[in-house]
Amino acid sequence: MPLNLQNVTFTYMKGTPFEKTALSDVSLQIEKGEFVAVIGHTGSGKSTLVQHLSGLLHPDKGSVTVDGVNLNAKNAAAKKARNSVGMVFQYPEHQIFAETVYEDIAFGPRNKGLGPDEVDRAVRDAMAFVGLDFDSFAKRSPFRLSGGQMRRVAIAGVIAMEPDYLILDEPSAGLDPRSRDAVFKEVMALYKKRGIAVILVTHNMEEAARYASRLLVISGGQVILDGVPHDIFTNHKDELLAASMDVPPVYKLADCLNAHGLPVERTPELAALEKQILELRRAKHAD
Amino acid sequence: MLTDITLGQYYPGNSVIHKLDPRAKIIATLLFIAAIFFADSLLSYGVLALFVAVVIGLSRLPVLMVLRSVKPLWIIIVLTLFIHAFTGEGKDVLYQYSFLRLTTEGIIMGIKMSLRLVFLLLISSILTFTTSPIVLTDGIEALLRPFKCIGVPAHELAMMMTIALRFIPTLIEETDRIIKAQTARGADFDSGSLLQRAKNMLPILVPLFISAFRRADELAIAMEARCYRGGEGRTRMHELAYKAKDFIALAIIILLIAVLAVMRWGLGL
Ligand SMILES: Nc1ncnc2c1ncn2[C@@H]1O[C@H](COP(=O)(O)OP(=O)(O)O)[C@@H](O)[C@H]1O
Ligand SMILES: [Mg+2]
């Protein structure tokens, strides 16, 4: 059941002097069950790419399909296909509008045409996923919550649509480290439980390295690298640097230690690296 | 798409029109608008069109972009054409349906009226295309300053305009984003009864207002933090100064008005 992008080209403000080609001839396929991280420099076209994946922008050339259904068609099947792709925008709390947390999260499921019981279940599930206690939050005004809590309400509003493909465009921008970790843990839990595809746009390499099973590197409106994060961070450092990006700090640290003669293996987990170093020290003391 | 709107945007350049003093440009624009109402015969409309074409040429703006500034109001322009065409007084009836009468005189009147609108839009967008918002409001402030003694808050008005102009593109972008976000949540904006459609707009309007208020709040704090306290005793970095070309420009506009006046009342063209 793949999400498919075929030779997609897209230009903003076509026919004006401000014309800007944000995607050129991009083709890719995302299967259910994948966790794809999309990284790239600011302005490289990440947001444009994911807005095509969710059918919000129409390609100038090429096509976007979910299970063979064209997302940009005007029929019921296309609408259903679009609803199967959930999209969490950058600063999603800016889309909150309802009087209560419950009503805001219920907006999507109701638009999908679910009955009251199903809506209720979807809202409760979504709130549980993002760690908002139903009894204490459901009836509160979303505008009286903290920034981190508002973001969770907004993310719950998308999760409640129960998408097969969940796209998150820099979901951690502007959050403190703890809320950031919490958001990723929740997304990860959802990913594991529902077996959906997650497409995560970020310019934080560390997030990409830790969570993703596949990494897309975008530069100048094209996918320049597509593969397993560990492999890209190990074998394609030069391409990353050329596209104004870098490998995650833990990889750098491992390289640094290697350069100093400490034989550690490169890993995306700081804890794993720490363990290796401690092992080395123990071995040395044992000598 | 919403973000395709070009009205009120500055298009940087180096042309003689760009370099005119903003006060001269504003006065010239106002005079040109007055000149539009001097035009009567089709020939004088031709003179106006020629003038606009020359100004566009001098400004070296992309012609297509300038012409597109008419687009947001095309409905009103077409409506003007039709209303005049069907309600004009005239003897040469081409077609009649109950009280609606299509007359040759009406059609000509409609063309003239919609041409006036088009010229008005073109010349004012040339003003905003060739003048950055900051310079433009500097000009407005300078022109309003003499009226301060009768209580016109020149500086405050200019500041409000600067801010409003500055935030138009931001709000358009924001609207676009919110529409997309709610669309992604399955919102449907163009079906249902009129009341239902109005209700469907709520998920866009509420976040938009909230964000506008938030921005206003942040801006006020940022301005206060930099000790903004109104126009009293404020000096400016760029003092405006008239140059020879500004007087030439104004002279040309006055000449245009004179030509149109002579054509209308002197020669009866
Ligand atoms: N609404 C828009 N109108 C015009 N240009 C845009 C618009 N949105 C994005 N762009 C341009 O398209 C390019 C890609 O933007 P985007 O996809 O937002 O990049 P990213 O998300 O990677 O930062 C950028 O150069 C940006 O300036
Ligand atoms: Mg982006």
Lowest mean pLDDT among A19-33, A125-139, B45-59, B218-232: B218-232
Residue B1 has pLDDT above 70, yes or no: no
Range of the domain at B205: 153-238
* One domain for residues B201 and B261: no
The verdict on A105 touching B (C-beta cutoff 8 Å) is: no
Q: Are A27 and A5 in contact (CB under 8 A)?
A: yes
Domains of chain A: 3-230 (3.40.50.300), 248-287 (no CATH)
Tell me which long-range contacts B140-149 makes (C-beta under 8 A, separation of at least 24): B140/B22, B140/B26, B142/B22, B142/B23, B142/B240, B143/B23, B143/B26, B143/B27
* Three-state SS at A139: coil
pLDDT class for B199, splitting at 50, 70, 90? confident
3-state secondary structure chain B: CHHHCCCCCCCCCCCHHHHCCHHHHHHHHHHHHHHHCCCCCHHHHHHHHHHHHHHHHHHCCCHHHHHHCCHHHHHHHHHHHHHHHHHCCCCCEEEEECCEEEEHHHHHHHHHHHHHHHHHHHHHHHHHHHCCHHHHHHHHHHHHHHHHHHCCCHHHHHHHHHHHHHHHHHHHHHHHHHHHHHHHCCCCCCCCCHHHHHHHCHHHHHHHHHHHHHHHHHHHHHHHHCCCCCCCCCCCCCCCCCCHHHHHHHHHHHHHHHHHHHHHHHCCC
Ligand 1 centroid to residue A63 C-alpha, Å: 20
How does residue B164 score in pLDDT terms, banded at 50, 70 and 90? confident
Query: Are residues B201 and B96 part of one domain?
Result: no
Q: Average of pLDDT values for B167-171? A: 85
Whether B139 is in a domain gets the answer: no
Q: In what order do the strands lie in the sheet with A214-219?
A: A85-88, A165-169, A197-201, A35-40, A214-219, A222-227
- The yes-or-no verdict on residue A237 having pLDDT over 70 is yes
Q: How many domains does chain B have?
A: 2
The owner of tokens 């040759």 is B104
Determine, yes or no, domain membership for B32. yes
Residue B177 near residue A89, CB atoms below 8 Å: yes
B137 lies in some domain: no
Same domain as B71, residue B26: yes
Least confident piece of the model among A181-185, B115-119, B164-168: B164-168
Nearest residue in B to A167, CA atom: B184
For B161, the token pair is: 């305009």
Is B2 among the domain residues? yes
In a shared domain, residues B198 and B244? no
Choose from A133-147, A254-268, A273-287, B67-81 the range with maximum mean pLDDT. A133-147
Distance B96 CA to ligand 2 centre (A): 57
CB-based contact, A20 to chain B, within 8 Å: no
Q: B120 and B197 share a domain? A: no
Identify whether residues B29 and B50 lie together within a single domain: yes
- Tell whether A58 lies on the interface with B, counting CB pairs under 8 A: no
Token representation of residue B255: 């000449």
The answer on B83 and B160 residing in a single domain is: no
Q: Within 10 A of B76 (CB to CB), how many other CB atoms are there?
A: 12
Is residue A47 in contact with ligand 1, taking CB distance under 6 Å? yes
**Do residue B184 and residue A87 have CB atoms under 8 angstroms apart?**
yes
One domain, residues B126 and B10: yes
- Crossing angle of helices A270-286 and A249-259, in 10° steps, is 20
- Bridge-partner residues for A8, per DSSP? A26
Q: What are the chain B neighbours of A157 within 8 Å (beta carbons)?
A: 185
Q: For residue A116, what are the contacts with CB-CB under 8 A and spacing of at least 6?
A: none
Q: Which residue among A94, A97, A111 sits closest to B202, beta carbon to beta carbon?
A: A97
Q: Which two tokens stand for residue B27?
A: 């006065």
Lowest-confidence region among A50-64, A150-164, A217-231, A254-268? A254-268
Evaluate if residue B204 carries a pLDDT over 50: yes
Smallest Cα distance from A107 to chain B, Å: 7
Assess whether B127 and B203 both reside in one domain: no
Tell me, yes or no, whether B230 lies in a domain. Answer: yes
Least reliable range by pLDDT among B71-75, B91-95, B114-118: B91-95
| Statement to judge: residues B176 and B60 lie in one domain | no
The answer to whether A169 and A136 have CB atoms below 8 angstroms apart is: no
Tokens of B112: 């003239």
Q: Is residue B146 part of a domain?
A: no
| Test site for ligand 1: of A26, A39, A46, A48, most ligand atoms within 8 A of the Cβ | A48
What pLDDT band is residue A229 in, cutting at 50, 70 and 90? very high
Taking contacts as CB-CB distances below 8 angstroms, the residues of chain B near A158 are 184-185
pLDDT for the residue B98:
74
A76/B contact by beta carbon, under 8 A: no
In this structure, are strands A214-219 and A35-40 parallel, antiparallel, or unpaired? parallel
Same domain, B106 and B84: yes
Probe residue for ligand 1, chosen from B1, B3, B170 as the CB with the greatest number of ligand atoms within 8 Å: B3
Mean pLDDT in residue range A203-231: 91
pLDDT band, very low/low/confident/very high, at A3 (cuts 50, 70, 90):
very high
Q: Looking at the predicted structure, is the pLDDT value of residue A127 above 90? A: yes
Query: pLDDT-based confidence at B2, cuts 50/70/90?
Result: low
Q: Which residues of A touch B4 (CB under 8 A)?
A: 13, 16
Given CB atoms, is A59 within the 8 Å cutoff of chain B? no
Residue located nearest, by CA, to atom 26 of ligand 1: A43
Contact A94, B208 (CB under 8 A): no
The pLDDT confidence band at residue B86, using thresholds 50, 70 and 90, is confident
A108-119: pLDDT as tens digits: 999 999 999 999
A111 with B186: Cβ contact below 8 A? yes
- Specify whether the CB–CB gap between A198 and A189 falls below 8 A: no
- Measure in Å the smallest separation between the Cα of B28 and chain A Cα atoms: 27
Whether residue B148 is contained in a domain is answered as: no
Shared domain for B194 and B252, answered yes or no, is no
Considering chain A, what is the average pLDDT of its residues? 92
**B4: nearest CA partner in chain A:** A13
